[in-house]
Structure 1
Amino acid sequence: MSKIALIFSGQGAQYAGMGKELYESIDECREVFDIADRELGLSIKDICFDGGDGKIDKTEYTQPAILTTSIAALRAFEKEGIEYHAVAGLSLGEYSALVSCGMISFEECVKLVRKRGLFMEEAVKDVDGTLAAIIGLDVDQVEELVNKAKEEDVLQISNLNCPKQIVIGGETAAIDRAVEIAKEMGAKRALKLNVSGPFHTKLLKEAAENLYNEMNNIEFKENSLPIYMNVNGEKLNSSDGIKEIMKLQVMSSVYWEKSIRNMINDGIDTFIEIGPGRVLSGFVKKVDRKLNCMNIEDLKTLENTLSKLRGE
């Protein structure tokens, strides 16, 4: 019998039209979008389905839009009664994972992630910073790269996604130096990413503190199944310290590869990516090509995933 983990999309996976089929076809999915609209006092449906005049790519709106689409896809899956055994999410996706294991209600979470997006935008508005992907170097080499390139600027590892695919973040001058040095060190690719700030670095400290203050208004419940956390890749079995963990998550490295390896060690052999896109499935396959990977973001992928799980 397969042991299933659900993994949830992060920011960058958004596209106009996401969630529309689910909304139009499944009552439980429609309810999720209606709740989001009501709680936020705006039309998440317009942002997800039509792009909301560019709002879909503005962090304040992107984050609740992806969360809403992901939870709608989750509800479509849960309706089928198939058991899953663990959850995780990349960056923003960790909030969808918190909802999926019962630690926070969707109603509270969708408001929280909109504020998270606002706090992140506010924290980086006067910061000249960005991210860069380094392909083809291992962790030790990227740490050496960071030390060579940072000089007096902020520069650190932001995401450890999968073998030899690591994202660094920091001030733009340091990122520019790092991209050039990475090529000299033999990286297959080193390129700046089209993002609005140096996420998962200490330059987001102000956002982390504001988010922590916001979370003090929320009571997190005990999780109903294991959730593997970005800040250390480890399994969390209770809600102890969750607010501090989620505060750190905004300004700390994301240990995604470690999360996947720990899930594998705990017997997970099937990963279902929930929400827009298939980026996380690609990361999982680069960790171990033998793993089963599926995704659910619309009716076709829902049907395909259910057929595979049922052996049809």
Structure 2
Amino acid sequence: MKAYIFPGQGSQFIGMGKDIYSNSSIAKKLFKYADEILGFNMTKIMLEGSIKIMNNTKYTQLAIFIYSVIKSKILTNFDPDMVAGHSLGEISALTAINVLSFEDGLRLVNKRGSIMQDICTSYSGGMLAIFGLQDSIVEKICKKDPGIVVPSNYNSPEQIVISGEIHALMRVSNLIKQLKGSKILTLPINGAFHSPIMEYGKKKLTKVINKINFKYSRCPIYQNINASPVIQSLEIKHNLIEQLTSPVKWKQSIINMINHGAVKFFEIGPKNILQGLLKNILKNYLI
């Protein structure tokens, strides 16, 4: 069975999309259509803008979504048995399999990015990637801290991401540095995504999502919040809303997809970030 996976933030770069824009008339039309829907030239930002603008959450999410969805639309053999998307990538996956129309998916990402960017501006938060420790150890350290700091991405057996208030992250980081074999990487993100800090935006996102028509899925989507296959539109909507403040259960999703028959994984994005996580998951769980 074939599984298609869609990345979230982190795989963006200036010039992304130039290859498909130049070589496909369908892609070029969709890029221009995206600009019309948004009311500004997102294509120019992607192809020749500044990295400072591109790294703004609002534009990053749009760029990854536009590239991933257009890439799926121009593939001649896109026929997934199952799909999954990492954070933002969940909306890309839903649009690729026509649960969402291109127009609705784009407008949803635009609103989602704006909501999250507003929270980033109002609340001081960040994210740390932690390597070399078991999930349970990181979870225990976070739970003991008096501030807001939680696991936000279960990416692979060797990598877990935590999100939270800056001071809470510093305290947790100092404790983790004392543990043998651990390594910490500060992510270039000025927000605490998938944490309680995002709660402020959940009501706004709920209003946006409830106005959108979600169709019945042509194949199961393994959603971040529960790592389980979902087809029903109401459940997909609910999970997409809850994802904003809940951890991304990525490694659990991949393991479940494999257990349910996936033997080939295709990443639809500008880089191969998810392929790296996939290799690590396979190395640790499928010996």
For 2:78 and 2:126, the matched residues in 1 are separated by: 40
Partner of 2:179: 185
Partner of 2:115: 119
For 1:53 and 1:132, the matched residues in 2 are separated by: 21
Structure 1: tracts of 5 or more residues without a match: 292-312
**TM-score where L is the length of structure 1:** 0.88
Question: Which of residues 227, 230, 254 is equivalent to 1:260?
Answer: 254
* SS class of match (1:5): strand
Partner of 2:32: 34
For 1:139 and 1:238, the matched residues in 2 are separated by: 31
Partner of 1:277: 271
Partner of 1:301: none
Partner of 2:225: 231
More off after superposition, 57-66 vs 195-204: 57-66
1:278 Cα offset (Å): 1.1
Question: Which of residues 53, 56, 64 is equivalent to 1:55?
Answer: 53
For 1:183 and 1:93, the matched residues in 2 are separated by: 31
User: Given residue 174 of structure 2, which amino acid in structure 1 is its aligned partner?
Assistant: E
1:241 Cα offset (Å): 2.5
Partner of 1:103: 99
More off after superposition, 43-52 vs 258-267: 43-52
Superposed CA offset, 1:195-242 (max 9, x none): 020000010011122111111211111101110000111110221222
8 Å contact 1:229–1:259 — kept in the other structure?
yes
For 1:290 and 1:5, the matched residues in 2 are separated by: 20
With over 3 angstroms needed to count, the CA separation of the structure-2 counterparts of 1:241 and 1:83, relative to structure 1, is closer
Partner of 1:4: 2
1:103 Cα offset (Å): 1.0
8 Å contact 2:14–2:49 — kept in the other structure?
yes
8 Å contact 1:85–1:225 — kept in the other structure?
yes
Question: Which of residues 138, 162, 168 is equivalent to 1:168?
Answer: 162
1:145 aligns with 2:156: no
1:155 aligns with 2:129: no
Superposed CA offset, 1:218-275 (max 9, x none): 1111101110000111110221222221111111100000000000001101111101
1:130 aligns with 2:126: yes
8 Å contact 2:120–2:191 — kept in the other structure?
yes
Q: Which runs of 4+ in 1 moved over 3 A?
A: none
Residue identity over aligned pairs, in percent, reads 36
With over 3 angstroms needed to count, the CA separation of the structure-2 counterparts of 1:213 and 1:24, relative to structure 1, is same
More off after superposition, 276-285 vs 236-245: 236-245
Partner of 2:282: 288
User: Given residue 187 of structure 2, which amino acid in structure 1 is its aligned partner?
Assistant: L
**TM-score where L is the length of structure 2:** 0.95
User: Given residue 267 of structure 1, which amino acid in structure 2 is its aligned partner?
Assistant: G
User: Given residue 178 of structure 1, which amino acid in structure 2 is its aligned partner?
Assistant: V
For 1:42 and 1:18, the matched residues in 2 are separated by: 18
For 1:115 and 1:196, the matched residues in 2 are separated by: 18
Partner of 2:210: 216
8 Å contact 1:87–1:100 — kept in the other structure?
no
1:135 Cα offset (Å): 0.3
Partner of 1:309: none
1:136 Cα offset (Å): 0.4
* SS class of match (1:125): helix
User: Given residue 81 of structure 2, which amino acid in structure 1 is its aligned partner?
Assistant: H
8 Å contact 1:71–1:96 — kept in the other structure?
yes
* SS class of match (2:122): coil
